[in-house]
Structure 1
Amino acid sequence: MAGVEVVVAHQERATLRVGDLFVKIDADPTRTAVEVEAMALAPVPTPEIRWHRPPVLALAALPGRPLGQLGEPSTASPAAWAAAGAAVRTLHDAPLPPWPGRHLDDLAARLDGECRWLVTNGVLPADLVARNRRVAEAALRPWTPVFMHGDLQTAHVFVEHDEVTGVLDWSEAGPGDALYDLAILTLGHEEHLGDVVAGYGTEVDVDVIRAWWSARSLLTIRWLTEHGFDPAAPGCEIDVLTARK
């Protein structure tokens, strides 16, 4: 029997790998339900569902390798990054999923609350937080909803021979901002933004993508810290904030 590998484990969910099978256990069974429905609707490659017994979801392993990892240089080619951009465009052109999306009204309040926490607890210097909060303001504008993945990290996009073989982790999918997906895909990999945009195939507002880099980093540092991750690791969220001018 193959060994059991713990892929990720924290208070909200755990993912285990046994051979070619990934088993996800989520404290909130609605997230795996969303994931199953989103994968059924998405017009891009997704993992084969072996079985689903809430709150547990078993998925077949994807061929290829992740496009990248936050905090590490990507070894994927520019063509692979462009292919990822093209896959995102295919998703965004699809009909909206039939459940509610994220609300702009809540975002500014959440962002301000996280900024206060970062400064009050001495996690980051006040001027760094204030500078990135100003940058993030450009993301707080009305958008035309698209079918958004919602957590399109490079580790969730698998490629082989410069083609996308599958996209993982659809629990945050729903109607949302197209530029948010492009921002999460390129977070910490700014050098590949041009490749992604070229593959996406239409003009985008790069300033809004940069604004989402700041907003995403400010919003997630507390969660990452409380769930055993290190946002201060080289190339990760705090470095992303430091790079913003």
Structure 2
Amino acid sequence: MENKLLINNANTVFEKKDDKYFGYKSRFGDIVIGGAYSYRFVVHYAKTNQDVVIVPGDVNTVTTPVCTTLEERLWKPEKSVQAHRDEIVEQAKADIEVLKSPGRMVNGNTSDYKVDLFGANAEFIVNREKRTVVALLKGAYSGTVVLARGIAKAAPDDCFNVHIGKAIALRRALSLAVPDEYLNAPQPTEVRVGDFISDDSGVHKALVIEDDSWPPFSGGAAIYLKDARKYGYKIIDDSREEAGGE
């Protein structure tokens, strides 16, 4: 009974399963019910919102209340900046899939309502030159009528990531809150195969490829991983779609 009361009175509830935290309830409507969230996301959320509860495994077991005065219960040793960014990117990918799934639930005050894209299909327009992602919600039957749209644009000094951009744009199209982690993701610190790098001018760009591979035949510039790491070029796009990052 005490646990049930704690859950009922909480503003937001996450249910922990293995190493993931699933949205269980949110009076703010900013958590996707059934959506999988990372440990770091939950830590940040608990630090910036009051009355957050974590349910470990089963709603009938002991719950762990977390709020801005008890956030230390969640802290673990800090991860590297790159690991933090990697986690945010994976969270964005999962977020997109959850939001695009018909019949997913977002919690209201007293009753749940479906975010089925308003009976629409989500389409994305990616412009890497302008560093933007646009999410369009189009009528499921017409396929052409735009019901809503959202846009994400990377700041001039930020590394572009299509997955974070899609998550931001889709949330804005659906009028959902955008997690602060998406908007303020740390910059990558480790260059990898599939990244795009540039010199300080930002004019000369190249795709990072395996040290023992052949440059692509597309005509675009390429650089071996060892050289990209040696000379410390700036990473301008770490979406890595060509390397299986989608």
TM-score (norm 1): 0.25
**As a proportion of its length, which structure holds more strand?**
2
**As a proportion of its length, which structure holds more helix?**
1
TM-score (norm 2): 0.25
